[in-house]
Amino acid sequence: MKKLLFASVLMLLAAFNISAQQKHSLSADDLWAMKRIGDADLSPDGKTIAYVVTSYSMDNNKGNSDIWLVDSDGKNARALKNSESNETEPKFLSDGEHIAYVMDDQIRICKLDGSDDKQLSSIYTGASGIVISRDGKKMLFVSSVYPECPDQDCVKQKDEAKKSSKVKAEVFTSLMYRHWDNWRGEKRSHLFIFDTDSKEFSDLTLFSTSDVPPIDLGSANDYNFSPDGSEIAFTMNEDKDLAISTNNDIYLIKLSDIQKSGKTPYKKISISKGNDNQPVYSPDGKYIAYCSMQRAGFEADRQRLMLYDRKSGETKDLTNGFDRSVSKILWSPDSKTIYFNAVNEIYTSIYKLNLSTGKIDLILKEHINDDMMISPDGKKLYFKEQRTDLPTEIFAMNNDGSGLKQLTSTNKDLLDQIQFGSLDTVWYKGDGGQKVQAIVVKPPFFDPEKKYPMIFLIHGGPQGHWEDDFHYRWNLQMFAAPGYVVVAPNPRGSTGYGQKFTDEISKNWGGKPYVDLMNGYDYVLDKYSFVDKKNTFAAGASYGGYMINWIEGHTDRFNALVCHDGVFNFESMYGTTEELWFPEWENGGTPWQNRDLYRKWSPHLFVQNFKTPMLVVHGGMDFRVPEEQAFQLFTSLQRRGIESKFLYFPTETHFVTKPQNARLWWSTVFDWFKQHQKGEEQHGK
C-alpha cells in the first residue's frame, strides 16, 4: 500500500513538473496580448455589469475597445458591442433595459442584447464622459469648443478657416500653451447637458475660458447630477494662470438657471486653496462628498474626504486623523456609509466610513482595488482588482469585506501558459532609521541554489509608489521574466506611508530618498545569497530617471543604468515644462528665487563624476520632462566618453504606448543589461 501511495505521489509530481515546463516566462508580446478592462457600470437592478475590454494588435500597432456584459454573479460573460470602431463608456439607463455608450465621439443607445441600436447625439464637436441623471432623461458630457463661440456653427466655421489657412502659426499670450503631450490651442473643454427626448443640448459653461473637467488633478468623477436632477455639481479651475495653480474647485448649477444663449450662473462651495475634486451627491440628496487638498500649489498633498451639507452650507472633514489619501468615493444606497479607496503601502485598499460615528474600517487591504460600485440593497460591492500576476478583472465582495469573488477571467487562457515569479516585501532602515518597504520579485522557475542578476527599479512621481499591480509599461514581472531578481523600493516621497513620509522628498530630491534607496540596495545584497553581487543594474523613469542620473554622479554600484524620460538639468527644465507649480513646490520657488536649491540637486552639475554605462530613452512628445533633458544628458555622456546609447521615440510621450515601440523598448533595455553582465553567472546559470 505504501509503495502504491509513493508511486502515486511521484506521478503527481511528474505531472506537475511537465505542466510547469510547458509554461513560459512573460514576454513583451504576452504583455500586449492581454485584454484590458476599462470603464464599468452596474445595472439599476444589480443583475448585470457592463464593462469595456480593450484588445491590442501588434500588427496594426493599435488597440480596439469593445463593450461586454457579465451577470453580477460572474456568469454569462458576453460581448455587447464588438466592432472595428471603439465602443466605450457604457452607462445603464434607469429602465435597466438600455445602455448608453460612446462610439465615434457620439452618444448611442441600445438594448441589453445589442438590438435597437441608435445614435442619440449629432454634435459637431463630439461628446465624451457621459453621466446620466437618475430618471434617465438628461445626460452630461464634455466637448472641446472655442470659448468665444455661442454655438456649434461658430466652432465649425473657425475650424474650417484654420484648416484652409496657409498660415500655420500660433500666438501665445499666457502659459500652459501646451500640456502633458498636447498643444492646448484655443479650445477649452466645456460641460454640456443633453435632453434624451428632444435631443437638444446646452453648453453649461458657455463663454468660459476654464476647462471642465480641469486639465489636471481632477478625477474620473468630476461632474454629477443631484438625485432629483435639479442640480449639477462639477469641478473647474478658474484661476488665471493655470501653470502655477492647483486650485480646482467645486461648483453648483441649478437646472432652473440654465441659460440657452448666455452664461449660466454657478456657485462655488469648496473652501480650500488646494485641489478640490470629485463631487458626489448622497442618494438622499442631503450632502455632497468630495475630495480636497489643503496646500495650494502641491499636487501630492493628502486628499481629505469632505462633506458639504446642502441645507446649511457647512463643510466638514470626515478623515481628520486618517493618514492616507482618499481616492474614489462611493455612497451606500441608504446614505449612511461612504466607501472609498486609498493607497496603502503597496496596495490600494478599500475602506468603509460610518457617517454617524465617523469610524473608518479597512475592509479589503491586499492588491489594487478601484472603481467600486454597489448593489441596490447596499450589501455587495463590485470593483476592479489587479495584482502583479493578474491583469485587472472585476471582483465582488460583501460590504464588510467578506466573500471575495472574482467575476471575470478575461485573460485566463493566456495566463495559464505563463510562469510568474513570486512577490515578497522587505522592510529595512532608510535615512535616519526610517522604515522603508521594498517589493522583491523573484524570476520565474526560481532556484534558490542559483545566482541571479538584479534589476533595481526606481519609481516616478516622485510622489508615487511601486505597488502590487499588473503594469502595462513598467511591469515588475516583465523585468523579472528573463531571469532577474527585481527590487522595487518605496523611498521617501512614496505615497501610502503617511503624508510626512511623502513630504520628505520635496526640496530634498537627492538627499533622503537617495540614502533610502542605497540602504535598500545594500540590504538586499546582504540578505539574499541568490543575488549575484557582480551583476546589478538600475532603471527608472521620470523622477526615477532623475534618480538614475543622480546615481550616475554619486555611486558606481551598478554595472549599467537606464534613464527613461528623466530630469537632468533642473534650471533648464523649469523653462520648458508646463505645470510650473510642480518645480516651484519641489524646489521652493522659481530658479531666480531659490537658485541654490535648483543647483544643489541637479544631476547635470555632477557630470564630472559619471562613469557607469547608461541607456537614455525619451519621447519627443513628452512636455512634462521635455526632450531637451535627454539631449543634454546624452551629449554629456558622450563628451565624457561614457559608454551610452540613446533610444528616441519622436511620437511617444512621457510613456511608450504603441505596441511595436514597446516591444523595441523592452528588447533594447534587456539587451543593454545583458551586454553589461560579467562572468558566467548569467540569467540563473
Grid cell of 546 as nine digits? 532623475
CA–CA gap between residue 555 and residue 563 (Å, rounded): 15
Three-state secondary structure along 553-586? CCCCCCCEEEEECCCCCHHHHHCCCCCCHHHHHH
**Of the residues 542, 572, 602, 636, which is catalytic?**
542
**Of the residues 190, 367, 654, 676, which is catalytic?**
654
Please give the single-letter amino acid code of residue 636: S
CA–CA gap between residue 373 and residue 332 (Å, rounded): 9
Cβ atoms of 246 and 275 closer than 8 Å = yes
| DSSP E strand stretches across 267-303 | 267-268, 276-281, 287-292
CA–CA gap between residue 156 and residue 177 (Å, rounded): 22
| DSSP E strand stretches across 170-275 | 178-179, 182-183, 188-195, 201-203, 223-225, 231-236, 249-254, 267-268
CA–CA gap between residue 276 and residue 463 (Å, rounded): 18
**Of the residues 602, 622, 636, 676, which is catalytic?**
622
Q: Is 274 exposed, middle or buried (0-12, 13-18, 19+ CB in 10 A)?
A: buried
Residues 6+ apart with CB under 8 A from 614: 548, 552, 560, 561, 562, 563, 633, 637, 642, 643, 644, 645
190 is catalytic: no
Cβ atoms of 122 and 105 closer than 8 Å = no
Q: Where are the alpha helices (DSSP H) in 40-198?
A: 152-164
CA–CA gap between residue 668 and residue 562 (Å, rounded): 10
Partners of residue 63 on adjacent β-strands: 56
654 is catalytic: yes
564 is catalytic: no
List residues with catalytic annotation: 542, 622, 654
